[in-house]
Every structure is written in C-alpha cells, then in structure tokens.
C-alpha cells in the first residue's frame, strides 16, 4: 500500500494503483483523453503527464504505478506546458475555429477551454478525414474530429469483445478504420454503440432517428432521466436525453457506477427507443363500432354491413395465416451501404411496418370515461353472469412490478379468479417448475458480475446470449478472455459456440441424454461433490441409478455429440472449482422442459456448483420484467413471492391487505396462458395488457381464431397490435419512457426507471389505467403513485420487505431484501435451500424424444427464437427505425449443404410447411445451423414462425409448448407459385405494386 503525495496532499492507495488512480481518489482532476475506466491503458494521448520529484521527464499519470514516497505535482509548469502543447497540436487538425466559452460540446473542447489554448491555426496540415459510414442507419462517423485516442478501438475489442475498429496507416495518415474493407458487417459489428459512448469528441456519433429531431432539437438535451432498457432481462440502466416531449437519444450511465451493464448497451438498448415516439402510437381509447350505451347498459349492436364484411370482431385485414404465404420483399442489396433510408428498396421502414390504416376501420375513438366504463361493466357482467373463471387476464413482462401487482390484485380481489398469466409461461415456466421442485426457488441464485469476474467454468445451454442478452454475452466473452473455460451446449453454432472451448452441438431436444451422460461420467470419475450431496441434497441414489445407463457412448448415439466431448465437458465442469450454469429457452421450450432443466439441476447439485460466489445458477430471463411479473404474482398459482393461492393462510393475509372478504379470493390455481387459449378453457372474456399472443402463442392460426370468438376482449397497449385489432376496447397505454416504476432483471435486481416524457395524446400511464379500472370494478386501489404501490408490495412480500423507492435509486437492490437495513442478496443458498429441511431434492429423469420428429414428409427440425435486432413479436423493434432497417425482412437460417441439395440460394424465397401451416420467407444460408435443421425468428407478423409450432403438446408441469422442435418441410418458391397467395393487398408491404417486386437481385 504505497503512500504518496499529490499536490501537497498525502494519499495511500492499493498496490498496483496508478498515479492517476491516486489523484482521482483525492478528487484531483488530471486531464485525460485516451484513458477510460476499465479499458486497457495505452497512454498514447500524453496529456496526463505530471511531474514527479526526482524524475527528469514528465511521467504519464495513467500508466505510472503509484510508489511509496513519490511527490507528484499535477499542474506543474512543465506539465501544463505539455498539456497546452498536446491540445494545440490536436486542435490544429480539428475542424472548429471557435469554441464558445463555457459552451464546449465535448470532452476535448472542455479541456481546450480549461487550459485556455488559442484556437488559431498555424499548422499546414490538412484536416483529418476518414470513414463516414455513409448510409448507416445508426452510427455515423465524422473523422475530421477524431483525435485518435483509440478509446473506440479498445471499447470494441475489450468491452464488447468484437473488434470491428482499428487504427490503420501511420503518421499523419493514421485513421480509425471499420473492418478491413470499411464494411462493419464483414467485421462482425453489432451496432452496439459502445464506440459512440466512449468517443470524446463525437467523431463517432449516433444518428438521431427521427427526422424532426434532427431539425429542431438536436441541440443539448434539456434533461437526462435514468431509465431501464425495455428489452431483455439484463436490465441495462440507460440515461434518456430528453428535450421537450421527445427522447433524443440514449446515453450510457458512467462506467464506474454500479449498474448491471457497467453502462454498456446493445443495439436495441441504445437505438431501439424511437418506437415510443412512433406515429402509430395510440393516442385515444378505441371502441369497436357497434357498442352503444343505452339506459345505462352497454350493448353490442353492430351494423349489418360490418357484420357482413368481417363478422363479429374481424376487420379489413388478412389473417396471420393468409399473410404468411404471400411473397415477401427483401432488400436487393445491403441497405447499410450508401443508401438513405427512404431510398432503400423496401421503402421507409416506418411505412413498411406501420399499422395499416384500414386496421382502424372497425373502431371509433372514445373518451376514457366511456372506454373504462365499458371495460369495467363487461368484466363485471361476465364475472357475475358466467362466473369468475370465464374471465382471464394476460399481464405483461414488459410492464412494471407495480402495474403487474395492481393488475393481479384486480384480477384476484376484483374478478375473483386466478386466471392471470403472462408470457413467462412461454419462456421459463419449466425452469421455474424444475427449480421449485428441486430447491423451492424461482430465480437465479447468483449475479452476472460473479460470472464475469469469478467463475472458472461457464456452462451455457440453449442460450444465444450474444444476440438475446448481448450485454451479458459481452461479459461472458470478457470472462473467457480473463481465462474462464466456456462450454456451450447448443444445436446451433452461435457466436459463443464458435468461441467456446467445448461446443456440444446436440440434436434438438436431446438435452436430458446429454446431461445425464455428463453426470454419469462425473460419477464414474468420482468428481461429484460428495460432501455437498450428503449434507445438502436428497434423492442422490435414485439419480445415480437413473443416470447409470447413460454412458457417453449411448448419449452420443442419441445426441450426436462425440462421447469424448461429453466426457471432457463433464470433467471440466465438475472440476470447476467454480462453475456457473446458465440457460435459456433452448432448454425450456420443450414438452420435456421441466425434465431437461431437472437433469441440469441434478448435474449442478451433484457437483455442488451453487451457493458460492462464482458458482451461479442462472436461468437467463427473457423480457426486462419477466422475473418481476412472476414475482408480483402475475401467474395463476401464486400471489407475490410465489405464495401459493391454494394456501388458506396466505389467502387470509392478502384478503386483509386488500380489504376484500376472504372467500372472494379463489383457492384454486388459475389457468395458464397455454390453457386459456383453448376452446375448452371456458374463458369468454379477456383483458390483455401489453402482450401480443396472436404472434407469440404456439399454433397462431388456432390462437387467432380463438381470440376472434371471444365474447369480450379489452387490450391495453401502445399500438393496434395483431391482437388488439380483435378487441372491443383498446386502451392506449404508456411506453417505458412514460412512466415511473420498477423492473427486476435476471439477477433479481429491482431497478427504478423514471418517467422521462408524457404519453402521446390522451394515452395514459398504465398504472393509472389499472388503478381506475380497479376502482370501477369495485376493488379500491388507493395508490397515489407507483411508490405507494411499492409500499404495499413490500408489506405483503416477505422477500421485498426492505424495498422502498428511496432505496432503489442508483444500482437498485437484489432481493431478498428482508428489511430496510439489508443491502440485498448477491447470491443465494450458501448454507441452505428455502425448503422445509433446507436441502435440495434430486429427481431422476429419463430421456424422452421431442414430440414431433422429422420424417419423410417433414424431414427438417425447425427451431425458433430471437435475432439481435428484433424483439419478441416485433411491435416495438419493427417500429424502431434503425433496428428494423438492420433486419427488415423475415428469413430462415438453413445450412449450406441442405440449401444446395434443395436448389436454394442465399436470399431465395422458400416455403416452410409444418403440419400446422406454412410460411414463405427468404432463405439465409448460414453456417450456424446444422444439417437437417432450420431456424426461424419469431418476430415477423408477415411470416409468423408460430404458425408452424404446436400448441397441443405441453410440458406436463409447466404447460410450456415445444417451440424449439417442430418437423417441417422446405421448398423453394418460384415466382408463379407465390402469386397465388398474393391476390389481396399486402398490409405489410402494401405500398409497393406487386409487379415491381422481384425475388432476384
């Protein structure tokens, strides 16, 4: 611990600290340009040079270790003279003649002002030039202001671990380049914008996506508001720059703040916010034409005309099923290169994916009073006439904890049913059922940063982290760089699989065989954690017997993974010493999802890889609040904190808290998403908040039919979605930027997002809508604001008892937070599990093949999932200009050998058909998928992957459908054959005359 003197003040710093670290700890501001926290130190700008007594030369503060007895002067005459020299040299080639006093626009200009450097030019050197990324929809370069600090190069290589940028040339010609050929695509760019974040001059900057912002208010933001990214469950904290009622851009929180993302974002987080200001936003409540209130009673009396045209609740649109088989246009060349957006062959993306005008035809605008009155009256009517269980509610993993809490409170206390669920059913419900059975828990045991900094082995299964959770994906890549072993189990050769030390490329749905074999080998080598098994688990013997027949050789025949790789993976995982286990939908979305996760938990528990810092168990959650929505009880079997609805004492507690008669609260678990959308469910009325099941549910064609036949449907959303178009009432809600509330990320971190702008028009904050609806239904919701809701949540939720808004500012809190003093919980289960006797239970599982296997007629495995640039059903991302222009059309990934055998070239139209339906979309020949497998993204209405998936086989415990395996057939589509389906005007691509479209380049 060296002690040194800086500007006359003594300071002691940890071994290994630099002079700069020491100065910063004293609050001494040594100017820097190339230095940036957490980036490798290169010391190239030479501006932080300081005087050290006894040293003939100035030394770089950023790169010189602090040493005992050093006497440092940071603003010595020599140091200041050098700084002015550096700044004036940089200014010579900087294209600005005047930096307004106090009006410096960036870090560099601020230093020029601080050291009072004259801006007159003396040098004969030309201004710098360089790449401009012309036509790029998201990131632009103006290299004339580049000062070659190389922060961007290092941010790309060392924070995001991509390596798109570098320095080329030498001397005065040195410049930052994008890949070897100037094409970011070829260099693996993911448009995350880390370079934008670190640039000290704005040479690399983001494009403000909306044209009107460019014109009026590109200037300084009026205010900056801390929010939480609305996409995945990493829960990146972001700062919204706001001017007027517009979000100008997303800025990163400072890298040294404790945020789950160290201020990084992915492309969605940084560039995907403009959907909130999209012109499709609903600004007034809508009521389906035909609803009239007479004598105080609402009646539905549609005009015979309307009924004749589109039935009880249809409209002038084609069903998802019809749209799927029409031809799709695709970009004829890379829209990123030298094209302005409006010139792109697909037209302006804002038009391409906008809500078609005719969708509004069946509706009329209404007042809030009318709309809420209608909703309340119909829900109450159905409750009383058809019974509480005739109603069901979809809550939302995109909505805040407070909103989810108030909605489930309304459903249980006001509608008297437990029929509330949300899309968790479709993602991690099988993880939850497996984890509950094994250790009575429903969330990750650890934190993302322990995986990054501590784990020796990272075992990732069925999780395409670099696309679905990119910021966590980058952390995993950093972990590997630091030396952690990466083992990836995935049927696709995704980026992490390519980087992995071991890639277990199993056949889809064969996970149990793989994991049982790994455990078999661990036991055979005696690598299991005997002490852990003995003291902390039950049921080991049964599992030992169950895995005994699963030799690696046998597993090889089932999974296709070579036995030696299974052995090696098993040994490395078991040897740890600290192995973290991460998984996502690749494991869960199977009809055997619970079994699959159970087999993983068996392995994990037998190796004792839980309950230590660095040995984390992490189901990587999908949506930004899927964890919170479940925690808040927006699931059919439990109240908040997973307290079962079937337990009378639990019921008593909530009845008291909500002031409702105990017997009003149902003691039977409600229906799950996948059970509700079934003819036999008995549900005739629904309220849906912020979900779009007509795209996200399996077997969409049946789902669409089911929603069409409801007696009453109310939808609260931002847009007139594919689901909302069937509604009787549409209530315009608020985007993430328009409300204050909390979200829970995948590591149980409760984070506070603040309202930045007002909802457009008459749209209202979702919480207000729910509170008013609750009051109108007869369940008083006496909440002044979101913070008051949180206070009630804390009262009824044991593991959130210590949570309050005052404590959530900044990094948030990882629950359990048992009391107001608790700092939260970074990792769980260090000495016991939350079970009756504190032990976990091992459950033997047997391999069962996927429900539908390829055969002669349907010879391909089809896998579905997410892409980097889109999100879920696309309602948000397809209205985010930049994101949609990166990935404008639906594609199916197919292996090159298969493509060749079928006579399909990259970009060709193909038809994919399963026993449920078929879709037409472009082929993307990709080395990522194995032979006989195809991958369909789930985001596109015009080629909805879920038309092909199956809804009739569900996981028996969790009710999750088998999204990951369907048998399909693929055919190339010739131009004539597409024509058939093209009779009606395409709503997605309507603006384009059909004749102008061509499949060939």
Partner 1 sequence: MGYPHTSHPKETPVLSQYFGDPGARSLDGWKQRGGYRALEKALGMSPADIVNEVKESGLRGRGGAGFPTGVKWSFMKPGDGKPHYLCVNADESEPGTFKDREIMRWTPHALIEGAAIGAYAIGAETCYIYIRGEFTEPLRVMNAAVKEAYAAGVIGPNAMGTGKRIDVHVHKGAGAYICGEETALMNSLEGKRGNPRIKPPFPAVAGLFGKPTTINNVETLAAVPHILNRGAAWYKGMSRGNPKSTGTKLFSVCGNVAKPGNYEVEMGFPFKEFLYELCGGPLPGRRFKAIIPGGSSVPIQTVEEAEATVMDYEGFIAQGTMLGSGGVIVFDDSQCMVKHIARLARFYAHESCAQCTQCREGTAWTTRILERIERGHGTMADLDTLLELADQMTGKTICVLSDSCAAPIVSGIKKFRSEFEAHITGKRCPMGATAAA
CB of 474 to partner 1, least distance (A): 21
User: Cβ contacts of residue 708 below 8 Å, gap of 6+?
Assistant: 311, 312, 313, 314, 726
| Residues 574-603: x where in contact with partner 1 by CB under 8 A, - otherwise, as a string | ------------------------------
Peptide bond into 816 cis (omega under 30): yes
Cα-flanking dihedrals φ and ψ of residue 809, to 5°? -55, 145
CA distances from 352 to 264, 342, 524, 559, 778 (A): 30, 11, 58, 42, 43
Query: Are residues 949 and 699 in contact, defined by beta-carbon separation less than 8 angstroms?
Result: yes
Q: Which of 243, 144, 157, 227 is nearest to 192 (CA)?
A: 157
Nearer to partner 1, 23 or 629 (CB): 23
Nearer to partner 1, 124 or 661 (CB): 124
Cα angle vertex 984, ends 983, 986, to 5°? 120
> Which pairing describes strands 420-421 and 457-461: parallel, antiparallel, or unpaired?
unpaired
Query: Are residues 28 and 39 in contact, defined by beta-carbon separation less than 8 angstroms?
Result: no
Applying CB under 8 A, which of residues 10, 172, 545, 647 lies at the interface with partner 1?
172
CB of 495 to partner 1, least distance (A): 22
CB of 75 to partner 1, least distance (A): 16
SS (H, E, C) 744-761: ECCCCEEEEECCCCCCCC
> Within 299-318, which residues bind partner 1 (CB under 8 A)?
none
Does residue 122 bind partner 1 (CB under 8 A)? yes
CB of 33 to partner 1, least distance (A): 8
| Cα–Cα distance, 593 to 595 (Å, whole number) | 5
Nearer to partner 1, 96 or 167 (CB): 167
Nearer to partner 1, 92 or 571 (CB): 92
Please report which residue ranges of 834-961 form alpha helices under DSSP H.
881-886, 896-902
CB of 124 to partner 1, least distance (A): 4
| Cα–Cα distance, 685 to 682 (Å, whole number) | 9
| Cα–Cα distance, 876 to 403 (Å, whole number) | 19
Query: Are residues 468 and 444 in contact, defined by beta-carbon separation less than 8 angstroms?
Result: no
Does residue 534 bind partner 1 (CB under 8 A)? no
Give the residue carrying structure tokens 């904290």: 237
Nearer to partner 1, 63 or 653 (CB): 63
Nearer to partner 1, 92 or 319 (CB): 92
Applying CB under 8 A, which of residues 8, 16, 54, 56 lies at the interface with partner 1?
56
| Residues 5-44: x where in contact with partner 1 by CB under 8 A, - otherwise, as a string | ------------------------------------xxxx
| Cα–Cα distance, 559 to 553 (Å, whole number) | 10
Select from 167-175, 350-358, 847-855, 906-914 the region that touches partner 1 (CB under 8 A).
Answer: 167-175
CB of 15 to partner 1, least distance (A): 14
CB of 52 to partner 1, least distance (A): 13
Does residue 174 bind partner 1 (CB under 8 A)? yes
Q: Which helix (H) or strand (E) covers residue 595, if one does?
A: helix 593-606
Select from 169-177, 284-292, 786-794, 933-941 the region that touches partner 1 (CB under 8 A).
Answer: 169-177
CB of 67 to partner 1, least distance (A): 11
CB of 108 to partner 1, least distance (A): 11
> Within 66-95, which residues bind partner 1 (CB under 8 A)?
82, 85-86, 89-90, 92-93
Query: Are residues 817 and 744 in contact, defined by beta-carbon separation less than 8 angstroms?
Result: no
Does residue 156 bind partner 1 (CB under 8 A)? no
Cα angle vertex 923, ends 920, 928, to 5°? 135
CB of 81 to partner 1, least distance (A): 8
Cα-flanking dihedrals φ and ψ of residue 800, to 5°? -115, 15
Does residue 121 bind partner 1 (CB under 8 A)? no
Select from 123-131, 340-348, 449-457, 677-685 the region that touches partner 1 (CB under 8 A).
Answer: 123-131
Tell me the two tokens of residue 294: 């007479």
CB of 457 to partner 1, least distance (A): 23
Select from 52-60, 211-219, 398-406, 785-793 the region that touches partner 1 (CB under 8 A).
Answer: 52-60
Nearer to partner 1, 163 or 849 (CB): 163
* Alpha carbon of residue 395 to chain centroid: 18
Nearer to partner 1, 90 or 411 (CB): 90
Give the residue carrying structure tokens 């679905």: 468
Does residue 167 bind partner 1 (CB under 8 A)? yes
Does residue 526 bind partner 1 (CB under 8 A)? no
Count of residues in contact with partner 1, rule CB under 8 A? 37
> What b/e string do you get for 113-122 counting C-beta neighbours within 10 Å, with b at 16 or more?
bebebebeee
Select from 46-54, 310-318, 525-533, 821-829 the region that touches partner 1 (CB under 8 A).
Answer: 46-54
Select from 147-155, 243-251, 677-685, 832-840 the region that touches partner 1 (CB under 8 A).
Answer: 147-155
Does residue 245 bind partner 1 (CB under 8 A)? no
Tell me the two tokens of residue 466: 């670099």
Does residue 45 bind partner 1 (CB under 8 A)? yes
Nearer to partner 1, 200 or 235 (CB): 200
Does residue 170 bind partner 1 (CB under 8 A)? yes
Does residue 682 bind partner 1 (CB under 8 A)? no
Select from 146-154, 539-547, 674-682, 833-841 the region that touches partner 1 (CB under 8 A).
Answer: 146-154
Total residue length of the chain: 1001
Nearer to partner 1, 173 or 984 (CB): 173
Tell me the two tokens of residue 201: 């001059």
CB of 995 to partner 1, least distance (A): 52
CB of 49 to partner 1, least distance (A): 6
CB of 753 to partner 1, least distance (A): 41
Give the residue carrying structure tokens 């999908």: 622
| Residues 447-466: x where in contact with partner 1 by CB under 8 A, - otherwise, as a string | --------------------
Query: Residue 213 CB: number of other CB atoms within 10 A?
Result: 19
Applying CB under 8 A, which of residues 31, 60, 508, 593 lies at the interface with partner 1?
60
3-state DSSP assignment of residue 738: helix
Does residue 179 bind partner 1 (CB under 8 A)? no
User: Cβ contacts of residue 529 below 8 Å, gap of 6+?
Assistant: 606, 607, 608
* Alpha carbon of residue 549 to chain centroid: 39
Please report which residue ranges of 454-562 form alpha helices under DSSP H.
465-468, 470-482, 495-499, 511-524, 530-536, 540-547, 552-559
Give the residue carrying structure tokens 């109450």: 380
Q: Which helix (H) or strand (E) covers residue 352, if one does?
A: helix 349-352
Nearer to partner 1, 91 or 617 (CB): 91
Longest dimension (CA), the chain: 96
CB of 82 to partner 1, least distance (A): 6
Does residue 58 bind partner 1 (CB under 8 A)? yes
Does residue 223 bind partner 1 (CB under 8 A)? no
DSSP state of 261: T
Give the residue carrying structure tokens 């003691």: 667
Select from 111-119, 163-171, 444-452, 672-680 the region that touches partner 1 (CB under 8 A).
Answer: 163-171
Query: Are residues 738 and 302 in contact, defined by beta-carbon separation less than 8 angstroms?
Result: no
Query: Residue 703 CB: number of other CB atoms within 10 A?
Result: 23
Nearer to partner 1, 41 or 210 (CB): 41
Given 3-state DSSP classes, what are the helix, strand and coil percentages for the chain, each rounded to the nearest 5? 35, 15, 50
Interface residues with partner 1 (CB under 8 A)?
41-47, 49, 56-58, 60, 63-65, 82, 85-86, 89-90, 92-93, 122-125, 147-148, 150, 166-167, 169-174
């Amino acid at each position: 611990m060296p002690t040194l003197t800086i500007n006359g003040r003594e300071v002691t710093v940890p071994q290994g600290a630099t002079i700069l670290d020491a100065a910063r700890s004293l609050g001494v501001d040594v100017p820097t340009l190339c230095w940036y926290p957490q980036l490798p130190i290169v010391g190239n700008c030479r501006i932080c040079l300081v005087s050290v007594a006894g040293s003939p030369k100035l030394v770089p503060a950023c790169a010189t270790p602090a040493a005992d007895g050093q006497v440092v002067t940071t603003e010595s005459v020599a140091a200041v003279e050098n700084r002015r020299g550096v700044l004036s040299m940089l200014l010579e080639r900087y294209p600005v003649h005047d930096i307004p006093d106090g009006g410096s626009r960036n870090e560099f200009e601020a230093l020029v002002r601080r050291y009072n450097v004259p801006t007159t030019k003396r040098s004969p050197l030309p201004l710098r030039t360089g790449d401009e990324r012309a036509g790029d929809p998201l990131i632009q370069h103006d290299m004339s202001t580049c000062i070659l600090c190389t922060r961007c190069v290092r941010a790309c290589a060392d924070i995001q671990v991509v390596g798109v940028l570098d320095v080329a040339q030498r001397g005065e010609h040195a410049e930052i380049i994008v890949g070897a050929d100037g094409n970011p695509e070829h260099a693996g760019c993911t448009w995350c914008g880390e370079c934008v974040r670190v640039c000290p001059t704005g040479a690399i900057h983001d494009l403000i996506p909306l044209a009107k912002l460019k014109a009026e208010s590109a200037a300084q933001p009026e205010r900056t508001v801390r929010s939480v990214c609305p996409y995945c469950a990493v829960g990146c904290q972001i700062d919204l720059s706001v001017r007027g009622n517009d979000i100008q851009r997303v800025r990163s929180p400072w890298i040294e703040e404790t945020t789950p993302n160290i201020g990084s974002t992915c492309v969605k987080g940084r560039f995907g916010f403009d959907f909130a200001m999209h012109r499709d936003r609903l600004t007034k409540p809508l009521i389906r034409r035909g609803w009239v209130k007479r004598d105080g009673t609402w009646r539905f009396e549609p005009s015979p005309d309307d009924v004749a045209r589109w039935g009880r609740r249809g409209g002038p649109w084609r069903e998802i099923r019809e749209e799927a088989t029409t031809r799709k246009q695709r970009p004829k060349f890379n829209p990123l290169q030298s094209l302005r957006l409006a010139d792109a062959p697909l037209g302006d993306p804002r038009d391409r994916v906008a809500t078609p005008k005719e969708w509004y035809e069946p509706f009329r605008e209404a007042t809030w009073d009318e709309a809420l009155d209608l909703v309340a009256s119909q829900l109450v009517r159905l409750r009383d006439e058809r019974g509480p269980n005739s109603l069901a509610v979809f809550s939302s993993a995109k909505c805040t904890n407070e909103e989810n809490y108030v909605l489930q409170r309304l459903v249980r206390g006001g509608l008297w049913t437990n029929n509330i669920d949300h899309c968790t059913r479709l993602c991690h419900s099988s993880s939850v059922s497996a984890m509950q059975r094994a250790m009575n828990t429903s969330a990750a045991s650890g934190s993302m940063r322990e995986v990054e900094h501590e784990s020796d082995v990272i075992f990732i299964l069925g999780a395409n982290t670099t696309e679905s959770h990119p910021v966590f994906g980058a952390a995993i890549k950093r972990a590997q760089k630091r030396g952690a072993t990466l083992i990836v189990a995935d049927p696709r050769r995704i980026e992490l699989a390519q980087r992995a030390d071991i890639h277990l490329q199993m056949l889809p749905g064969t996970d149990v065989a793989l994991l049982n074999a790994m455990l078999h080998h661990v036991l055979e080598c005696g690598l299991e954690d005997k002490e852990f098994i003995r003291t902390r688990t039950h049921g080991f013997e049964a599992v030992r017997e169950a895995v005994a027949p699963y030799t690696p050789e046998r597993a090889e025949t089932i999974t296709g993974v070579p036995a030696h790789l299974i052995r090696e993976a098993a040994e490395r995982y078991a040897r740890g010493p600290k192995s973290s286990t991460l998984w996502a939908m690749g494991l869960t979305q199977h009809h055997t999802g619970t079994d699959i996760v159970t087999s993983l938990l068996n392995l994990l528990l037998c190796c004792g890889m839980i309950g230590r810092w660095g040995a984390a168990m992490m189901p990587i959650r999908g949506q930004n609040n899927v964890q919170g929505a479940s925690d808040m009880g927006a699931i059919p079997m439990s109240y908040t904190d997973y307290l079962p609805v079937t337990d009378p004492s639990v019921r008593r507690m909530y009845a008291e808290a909500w002031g409702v008669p105990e017997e009003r609260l149902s003691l039977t678990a409600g229906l799950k998403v996948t059970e509700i959308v079934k003819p036999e469910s008995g549900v005739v009325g629904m309220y849906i908040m912020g979900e779009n099941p007509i795209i996200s549910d399996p077997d969409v064609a049946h789902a669409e039919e089911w929603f069409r036949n409801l007696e009453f449907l109310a939808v609260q959303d931002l847009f007139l979605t594919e689901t909302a178009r069937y509604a009787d009432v549409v209530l315009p809600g608020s985007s993430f930027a328009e409300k204050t509330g909390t979200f829970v990320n995948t590591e149980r971190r409760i984070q506070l997002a603040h309202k930045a702008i007002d909802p457009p028009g008459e749209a209202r904050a979702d919480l207000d809508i729910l509170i008013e609806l609750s009051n109108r239904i007869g369940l008083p919701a006496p909440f002044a604001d979101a913070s008051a809701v949180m206070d009630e949540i804390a009262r009824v939720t044991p593991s959130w008892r210590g949570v309050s808004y005052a404590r959530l500012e900044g990094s948030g809190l990882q629950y359990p937070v048992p009391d107001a003093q608790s700092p939260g919980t970074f990792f769980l289960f260090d000495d016991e599990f939350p079970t009756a006797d504190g032990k976990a239970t091992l459950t033997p599982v047997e391999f069962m093949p996927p429900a539908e296997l390829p055969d002669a007629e349907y010879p391909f495995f089809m896998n579905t999932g997410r892409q980097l640039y889109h999100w879920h059903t696309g309602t948000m991302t397809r209205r985010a200009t930049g994101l949609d222009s990166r990935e404008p059309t639906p594609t199916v990934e197919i292996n090159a050998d298969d493509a060749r055998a079928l006579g399909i070239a990259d970009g060709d139209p193909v038809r994919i058909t399963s026993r449920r339906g078929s879709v037409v979309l472009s082929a993307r020949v990709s080395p990522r998928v194995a032979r006989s497998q195809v991958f369909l993204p789930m985001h596109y209405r015009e080629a909805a992957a879920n038309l092909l998936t199956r809804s009739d086989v569900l996981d028996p415990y969790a009710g999750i459908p088998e999204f990951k395996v369907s048998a399909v057939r693929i055919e190339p589509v010739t131009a004539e054959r597409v024509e058939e389906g093209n009779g009606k005007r395409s709503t997605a691509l309507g603006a384009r005359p059909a004749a102008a479209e061509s499949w060939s380049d």
